[in-house]
Amino acid sequence: MPVVDIHTHIYPSSFVELLRSRQTVPYIRTFPEDPDSSRLIILPGEDDPSMPSTSRGRPIGPEYHDISQKIAFMDQHLIDISVISLANPWLDFLDPEEAGEAARKINDDVNALCAQYPGRLYAFGTLPLSASADIIVAEIERLTSLEHMRGVIMGTSGLGHGLDDPALDPVYAALEKHNQVIFLHPHYGLPSSVYGPKASEYGHVLPLALGFPLETTIAVTRMLLGGVWDRFTKLNVLLAHSGGTLPFLAGRIESCIKHDGHLKQEGKTERRRDVWDILKSNIYLDAVIYSDVGLKAAVNASGSDRLMFGTDHPFFPPLELDVPEWHSVAANYKAVSSAFNDSDSEANAVLGGNAIRILNL
Ligand code: URA
Ligand code: ZN
């Protein structure tokens, strides 16, 4: 059974040039202390001038845009097929007038990268979310004509007001109509105040380990509370990082809904699809959680037939030089083998079979 990586990113060269042309987050820059190496600064709060340049962003090299390095990484880690996606912050920061054309260019570029390695690469497209809904819908329709596209990657901001914004309904309708999966991925994290005054001493740990998964959990819970899946019963969403904390918190979310007097008064506690139903019919989860503890929660919530292996390449490389096998990838492989030590068929499904079926690879 082939191994498929559904969570693996690329910044095509045109996007790297765009980031190099900018002077504020998101951007790519060098620092006077180390003029030969570039740093990618994308997250809100990671560009504090009082921080040493070594903690501002992360080093960026060709592994972020050179597709032959993606293939070399896949070969090194026994990955047969990758479904590549533009990494955060996608096109969220562009002016509305620029976004439509930028999305067309990025999607054409990524589709062409896939075409260089037939059978090995597919992609999630990028949407021009700062543009108007009709431009976004037009790009969703155009994506159906690009051979290697298998859905779209999206952050949590939607059109600027989150994913429970009714103005997104035409976008959800188009995605549902064309059976395109949304790969929902975090970027914005939590307000930096929650990390406290010592945050700069802790590197990226708090925003990446906690801010990212909580952002995803809140975004998807808002979709649920906003009735997105009551209106779009066939809309499929693949949640990054095994659903953030959704599998662990689903029971609490459901209980809070059932015990909310305001929702009851508005008639919103009845005639709605519950979180367990949605987890098992509309949500897919990646297996990028680095431990069998989290993976088992994901399996219990959505089922092993809805879980798909991923790496998050090129993020989280080994910090040591010349280590060919990445610890982060080994941890995700190990989590699958220990979560399914009694069932090769479930392990194989998570490693590749599910992605082939769900994404029609
Ligand atoms: N950091 C990011 O900004 N994005 C990822 O996908 C992973 C780590
Ligand atoms: Zn990612």
Q: The domain containing residue 330 runs over which residues?
A: 4-12+66-358
Residue linked to tokens 């054409």: 108
Domain assignment present for residue 29? The answer is: no
Total Cβ atoms within 10 A of residue 115: 12
Question: Residue 43 CA: which ligand 1 atom is closest?
Answer: 3
Question: Which of ligand 1's atoms lies nearest the C-alpha of 204?
Answer: 1
Q: Is residue 31 part of a domain?
A: no
In a domain, 182, yes or no: yes
Eight-class DSSP state of 72: H
Residue 188 domain-assigned?
A: yes
What is the residue with the minimal CA distance to atom 4 of ligand 1? 88
Q: Give residue 151 CA to ligand 2 midpoint distance, Å.
A: 15
On the CB side of 218, how many CA atoms lie within 13 Å of its CA? 16
C-alpha dihedral sign at 40, 46, 47, 52: negative
Q: State the pLDDT confidence band at 290, using cuts at 50, 70 and 90.
A: very high
Pocket of ligand 1 (CB under 6 A): 9, 42-43, 87-88, 208, 312, 315
SS3 label, residue 27? strand
Kind and range of the H or E element at 37? strand 34-41
The answer to whether residue 195 is domain-embedded is: yes
Is 40 domain-assigned?
no
Q: Predicted ipTM?
A: 0.96
Q: Does 17 map to a domain?
A: no
- How many domains does the chain fold into? 1
- Tokens linked to 320: 């040591």
Write down the pLDDT at residue 62.
Answer: 94
175-234, pLDDT tens digit by residue? 999 999 999 999 999 999 999 999 989 989 999 999 999 999 999 999 999 999 999 999
CA 4/CA 164 separation, integer angstroms: 31
CATH number of the domain bearing residue 109: 3.20.20.140
pLDDT value at 270 more than 90: no
Query: Has residue 274 been placed in a domain?
Result: yes
Query: Average pLDDT for residues 230-251, to the nearest whole number?
Result: 98
Q: What is the pLDDT of residues 71-129, one digit of tens each?
A: 999 999 999 999 999 999 999 999 999 999 999 999 999 999 999 999 999 999 999 99
